[in-house]
């Protein structure tokens, strides 16, 4: 099967494929998604096959209006906290977890009694959901274990021949996956940090917890609140090592370990001082730009077959920095060297 490449004028073709139970790569503001009709279990199962995704890892259901939650009878109740968050951050890079109804196929919820829902802001994502006339289940459109795709080209690199089509809507503006917050029990808790920061969530809700798995490795045998957090993620083929220390200490350490197989995942201000291959995330302290470039940088380093070791600074945990931290610490297998 050849994968069709569609442009923004061909949304109806993508929608027809989806209505007929096919799988289409779609742009969103966070990362590209691998979409299928969320109410069609057989269609959703194809997503797991295309990605090589474990069946116990549930998918996010994408809607094109807050009222779709009721229209498609997806959740048992809408807590007040969800209405407040929707008002503040939807459409946008926030996923909320609710108690689900039986309208949600077991393939989507992976056996949990909850469902994750997101209303994306990307106009092409909204248009294709509307044209399909059904909510779309979509994980990130990468092969399981590789960095999430932020362009249609990235999707094709992983998925060519494995899915029906990819809809090109340009590069994703946020660059890391949505913030996931559960409202299904007790104090709202962030399971995955993203473009909507913990600080922003606290401004709306007051108390918000951050799940242990955001910053730390899960203990052997511990159960993950978000099944995705237990898998090794965002792993480039090279060995990623995080360095904690001053800007000068970072540069000195990397130069002391220079070699043909070494690459620095760095900032613009480091470029002149580093004596190894470099890939820059953007200017120091510009966490939004770092998030936007992160996965493309990881993919570019992988394309350079000689790179075996990648040195990056340990990111800040402030604002969107926490999302970058969460992805890189996993890419590094939680390995940090204190300088
Ligand atoms: O930005 C995004 O969220 C992208 C775009 C395509 O919308 N999607 C995405 O999906 O990142 P995925 O499947 O790669 O990541 C979804 C995460 C996984 O860690 C999964 O375990 C978790 O959300 N998740 C989904 N449903 C859940 C549920 N009911 N309870 C707990 N975690 C859930
Ligand atoms: Mg993913």
Residue 230 is predicted with a pLDDT of 65
Does ligand 1 lie within 6 Å of residue 59's CB atom? yes
For the chain, where are the E strands, in sequence order?
A: 4-6, 24-26, 33-37, 60-62, 94-99, 114-118, 136-137, 165-167, 179-182, 189-192, 209-210, 239-244, 262-266, 277-280, 309-313, 336-338
- Quick one: 97 and 244 in the same domain? no
Model confidence pLDDT, tens digit, residues 193-233: 999 999 999 999 999 999 999 988 877 777 777 777 666 56
- Ligand 1 centroid to Cα of residue 60, in Å, is 5
Q: Are 23 and 164 in contact (CB under 8 A)?
A: yes
Residue nearest atom 33 in ligand 1 by C-alpha distance: 226
| Residue whose token pair is 């200017």 | 283
Q: Where are the alpha helices (DSSP H) in 117-219?
A: 123-132, 152-159, 198-205, 212-215
Residue nearest atom 31 in ligand 1 by C-alpha distance: 226
Q: Are 225 and 189 in contact (CB under 8 A)?
A: yes
Q: Are 339 and 246 in contact (CB under 8 A)?
A: yes
Residue 232 is predicted with a pLDDT of 59
Does ligand 1 lie within 6 Å of residue 121's CB atom? no
Torsion 214-216-217-222 (CA) sign:
negative
Does ligand 1 lie within 6 Å of residue 144's CB atom? no
The CATH number that applies at residue 134 is: 3.90.870.10
109-135 residues labelled b (16+ CB within 10 A) or e (exposed): bbebebbbbbbbbbebbbbbbebbebb
Does ligand 1 lie within 6 Å of residue 118's CB atom? yes
**At what angle are helices 287-303 and 152-159 packed, to 10 degrees?**
40
Residue 157 is predicted with a pLDDT of 96
Does ligand 1 lie within 6 Å of residue 193's CB atom? no
Model confidence pLDDT, tens digit, residues 164-189: 999 999 999 999 999 999 999 899 99
Residue nearest atom 22 in ligand 1 by C-alpha distance: 226
Residue 34 is predicted with a pLDDT of 98
Residue nearest atom 17 in ligand 1 by C-alpha distance: 228
**Two tokens, residue 233:** 């993620």
Model confidence pLDDT, tens digit, residues 86-110: 999 999 999 999 999 999 999 999 9
Model confidence pLDDT, tens digit, residues 107-166: 999 999 999 999 999 999 999 999 999 999 999 999 988 899 999 999 999 999 999 999
Reported pTM:
0.96
**Last residue of a domain, which of 214, 247, 265?**
214
User: Is 326 inside any structural domain?
Assistant: yes
Predicted confidence (pLDDT) at residue 336 exceeds the cutoff of 90: yes
Please tell me whether residue 213 adopts helix, strand or coil conformation: helix
User: Is 231 inside any structural domain?
Assistant: no
Of 62, 71, 79, the C-alpha closest to 121 is 62
**Last residue of a domain, which of 199, 214, 229?**
214
Q: Which residues surround ligand 2, an ion (CB under 5 A)?
A: 140
Model confidence pLDDT, tens digit, residues 245-275: 999 999 999 999 999 999 999 999 999 999 9
Question: Would you call the peptide bond into 256 cis, given omega within 30 degrees of 0 as the criterion?
Answer: no
User: Is 226 inside any structural domain?
Assistant: no
Predicted confidence (pLDDT) at residue 45 exceeds the cutoff of 80: yes
- Quick one: 54 and 141 in the same domain? yes
Q: Are 156 and 135 in contact (CB under 8 A)?
A: no
- Ligand 1 centroid to Cα of residue 206, in Å, is 24
Q: Are 279 and 264 in contact (CB under 8 A)?
A: yes
Residue nearest atom 32 in ligand 1 by C-alpha distance: 226
Model confidence pLDDT, tens digit, residues 66-83: 999 999 999 999 999 999
The CATH number that applies at residue 250 is: 3.40.50.11030
Q: Are strands 179-182 and 239-244 parallel, antiparallel or unpaired?
A: unpaired
- Quick one: 200 and 62 in the same domain? yes
Torsion 311-314-319-324 (CA) sign:
positive
Q: Are 101 and 38 in contact (CB under 8 A)?
A: no
Model confidence pLDDT, tens digit, residues 269-304: 999 999 999 999 999 999 999 999 999 999 999 888
- Quick one: 153 and 264 in the same domain? no
Does ligand 1 lie within 6 Å of residue 139's CB atom? yes
Domain of 252 in residue numbering reads as 239-338
Model confidence pLDDT, tens digit, residues 28-43: 999 999 999 999 999 9
Number of domains in the chain: 2
Residue 311 is predicted with a pLDDT of 97
Nearest ligand, CA 30: 1
């Amino acid at each position: 099967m050849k994968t069709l490449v569609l442009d923004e004028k061909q949304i109806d073709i993508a929608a027809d494929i989806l209505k007929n139970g096919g799988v289409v790569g779609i742009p969103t503001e966070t990362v590209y998604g691998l979409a299928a009709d969320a109410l069609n279990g057989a269609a959703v199962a194809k997503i797991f096959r295309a990605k090589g995704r474990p069946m116990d890892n549930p998918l996010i259901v994408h809607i094109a209006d807050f009222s779709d939650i009721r229209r498609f009878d997806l959740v048992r109740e809408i807590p007040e906290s969800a209405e407040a968050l929707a008002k503040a951050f939807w459409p946008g890079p926030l996923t909320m977890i609710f108690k689900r109804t039986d309208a949600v196929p077991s393939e989507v919820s992976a056996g949990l009694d909850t469902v994750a829902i997101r209303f994306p802001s990307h106009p092409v994502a909204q248009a294709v959901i509307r044209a399909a006339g059904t909510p779309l289940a979509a994980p990130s459109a990468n092969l399981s274990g590789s960095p999430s795709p932020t362009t249609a080209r990235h999707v094709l690199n992983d998925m060519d021949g494995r899915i029906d089509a990819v809809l090109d809507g340009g590069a994703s503006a946020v660059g890391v996956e949505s913030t996931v917050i559960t409202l299904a029990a007790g104090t709202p808790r962030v399971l995955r940090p993203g473009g909507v920061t913990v600080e922003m969530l606290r401004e709306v809700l007051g108390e918000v917890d951050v799940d242990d798995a955001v910053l730390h490795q899960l203990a052997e045998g511990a159960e993950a609140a978000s099944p995705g957090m237990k898998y090794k993620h965002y792993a480039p083929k090279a060995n990623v090592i995080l360095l904690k220390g001053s800007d000068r200490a970072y540069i000195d350490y990397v130069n002391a370990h220079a070699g043909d197989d070494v690459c620095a995942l760095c900032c613009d201000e480091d470029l002149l001082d580093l004596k190894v291959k470099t890939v820059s995330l953007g200017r120091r302290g510009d966490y939004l730009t770092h998030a936007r470039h992160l996965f493309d940088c990881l993919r570019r380093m992988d394309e350079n077959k000689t790179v075996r070791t990648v040195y990056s600074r340990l990111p800040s945990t402030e604002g969107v920095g926490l999302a970058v931290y969460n992805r890189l610490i996993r890419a590094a297998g939680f390995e940090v060297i204190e300088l």
